[in-house]
Structure 1
Amino acid sequence: MEHIKYEYHRPRENAFLGLSTDIKQDDAYFPVRDHTIKILWNRNTAPVQVCVDDYTITLKPNQLVSITYLQEVSFSKTQLPLTSFSFNREFYCIIDHDEEVSCNGILFFGTQDLPIVSIPYTLQQRFETLFSVFVEEFTTPDKIQGQMLQMLLKRLIIMVTRLAKEQLIVKALNNDQIETIRKFNVLVDIHYKTKRKVSDYAELLHKSPKTLSNLFAIYNQKTPQHIILERLALEAKRLMNFTDKQNQEIAYELGFNDPAHFSRFFKKMTQFTPSEYRNSQLMQA
């Protein structure tokens, strides 16, 4: 696979889009790295490993995964070139454009497991063609280059979101039900520090708590309440792994008035006390 690296910038807005066929090699050299979103695509014929937060995922050939700036990604275990589309909010805000692409809560900023999407054989050429058009546009600097690249990125997000809806969401749900789940996921990502009850989110969605519970019983085995608490525990682990904050600071940041209450909550969710978890991560490192 030929190694290529392209960047597009609008300096006045700090807008950035980057394309790399070896993100492990190139990530540190992109000038804009903070608050970027990545779509990672394994275009190899063998699996590739990527570390996200405190666990390792395996991307099979022609699989993609989306990573937001809320997650910590490491390519320390990545042994093969991995293609990446990296962009920030200033280039394309998926929240502002959600009505266009309907990806929030499915591809990005969701509370479920990482959305690994497989490209079917029948669509692989279509994705490769889109990749080629990206390369062509990156090498055609003119006044409308930014608009063209934004249009191509939107096309990529729509294509991946369609596959995600087919592969990750059960067929028993209709479009309105999928929208409710999607919006619930986004709302939890926004409000998990202050809203801990299913009824809080049911009110925001103009649904009953029972309706949400019934929907998630069809969607997967996790209850809405468990998803809310899982999101809280995930943020606690991120803060322990990637900041210097002490347990008491983390407890207050996550809305716990009593550090002991936080410690009990964390052990219930992870089977470890905060101190035990930190020690286990040090041993793994």
Structure 2
Amino acid sequence: MEQLRQFEIKKLGYTDIDSNNIEEGKLASYHDFIKIIFLKAGGSIQVDFKAYHLEQDALFFVQGGQWYQFDEALCNGAMLFYNKDFYCVEMHDAEVACDGILFHNIYEIPVVYLDAAQSALMQGIFTEIKTEMQQEESGMEEMLRILLKQIIIRSTRLWKQAHQVASLENRQEVEFARRFSQLVEAHYITRHSVADYAALLNMTPKALQKRIAKYSKDTPNDIIKDRIILEAKRLLAHTELSVKEVGYKLGYDDPAYFIRLFTNHVEVSPQHFRKSYQSSGV
């Protein structure tokens, strides 16, 4: 069951997830929305070429533009989808804003695993959102935003606990890493070097590398290149752009250099990656 509420340009939607309503064409219609996906244990989802087979209930936080696909036979749960206009009025709360920890995280695609009590609480909020959307009460928009924010706040707390972000120093390092991640997301097409981002952060490349190393096994250069390669994979898998055009779109005027970069990171050429992905039927 899908519901969509629109308040001028602000949109929030809800849909149940089960084998009857998971269709690739339908999933494409949610592509540009921010998504919070609740899946029960036993489910299987792929987000940007990484597969998750769930042994416990979980929440996934998927940005607009990220590619995702469910295993239709296995998945049960629900999904909230919304645009930035609906929630990003809350920009003063940096950790839980639409570009907060759960959505700009350089370490992994944010997934929050839930124990039985946490899952029951989250499912209760999802149900409350679903019920609220069926009403015609005054204050609906604000009530929905409050409920959505509850999910994000509670999930942020759980993510921080799971990643041992308790001390002030650790929180500061996570916030710094989030800022770096935001800059990479904004500029990866035009800025390809660590020095570029060090300049944006008013520090030396060496200092940036040392700061990121406190909380990540990846170097700043790894993070930058991984973001570029991820976008290249998306374009190769989901568009008909030629390899040369993909390279140009990502800021590389020399197609041979782009092919070498991709091949070194993925261990197959762009052409081979495209063929393998398409033949897999994913």
TM-score range, shorter chain: 0.7 to 0.9
Matched, 1:232 2:232: no
For the Cα contact (< 8 Å) 2:37–2:77, is it kept in 1? yes
Q: How far off is 1:238 after superposition?
A: 0.3
How far apart in 2 are the matches of 1:131 and 1:59?
Answer: 19
Matched, 1:218 2:214: yes
Q: Secondary structure at the match of 2:34?
A: strand
Matched, 1:281 2:274: no
Give the TM-score, by structure 2 length. Answer: 0.87
Q: Secondary structure at the match of 1:21?
A: strand
How far apart in 1 are the matches of 2:264 and 2:90?
Answer: 33
* Structure-2 change in CA distance of 1:151 and 1:108 (3 Å): same
2:156 maps to which residue? 161
How far apart in 2 are the matches of 1:259 and 1:69?
Answer: 28
Residue from 33, 41, 64 that aligns with 1:36: 33
How far apart in 1 are the matches of 2:161 and 2:260?
Answer: 38
Matched, 1:106 2:80: no
For the Cα contact (< 8 Å) 1:239–1:245, is it kept in 2? yes
For the Cα contact (< 8 Å) 2:31–2:67, is it kept in 1? no
For the Cα contact (< 8 Å) 2:35–2:82, is it kept in 1? yes
1:1-285 aligned at under 5 Å gives the runs 4-10=1-7, 12-13=8-9, 15-22=10-17, 25=21, 33-42=30-39, 44=40, 46-77=41-72, 79-93=74-88, 96=91, 99=94, 101-102=96-97, 104=99, 106-168=101-163, 173-285=169-281
User: Which range moves more in the overlay, 105-114 or 78-87?
Assistant: 105-114
Give the TM-score, by structure 1 length. Answer: 0.86
Is there any run of 5+ residues in structure 1 with no aligned partner, and where?
Answer: none
Paired positions, count: 278
Q: How far off is 1:216 after superposition?
A: 2.6
How far apart in 2 are the matches of 1:158 and 1:122?
Answer: 16
For the Cα contact (< 8 Å) 1:50–1:77, is it kept in 2? no
* % same residue: 31
For the Cα contact (< 8 Å) 1:94–1:104, is it kept in 2? no
For the Cα contact (< 8 Å) 1:111–1:231, is it kept in 2? no
Q: Secondary structure at the match of 2:86?
A: coil
For the Cα contact (< 8 Å) 1:111–1:188, is it kept in 2? no
For the Cα contact (< 8 Å) 2:237–2:278, is it kept in 1? no
How far apart in 2 are the matches of 1:31 and 1:214?
Answer: 40
How far apart in 2 are the matches of 1:94 and 1:165?
Answer: 23
The alignment's C-alpha RMSD in Å is 2.6
For the Cα contact (< 8 Å) 2:94–2:100, is it kept in 1? no
How far apart in 2 are the matches of 1:95 and 1:226?
Answer: 31
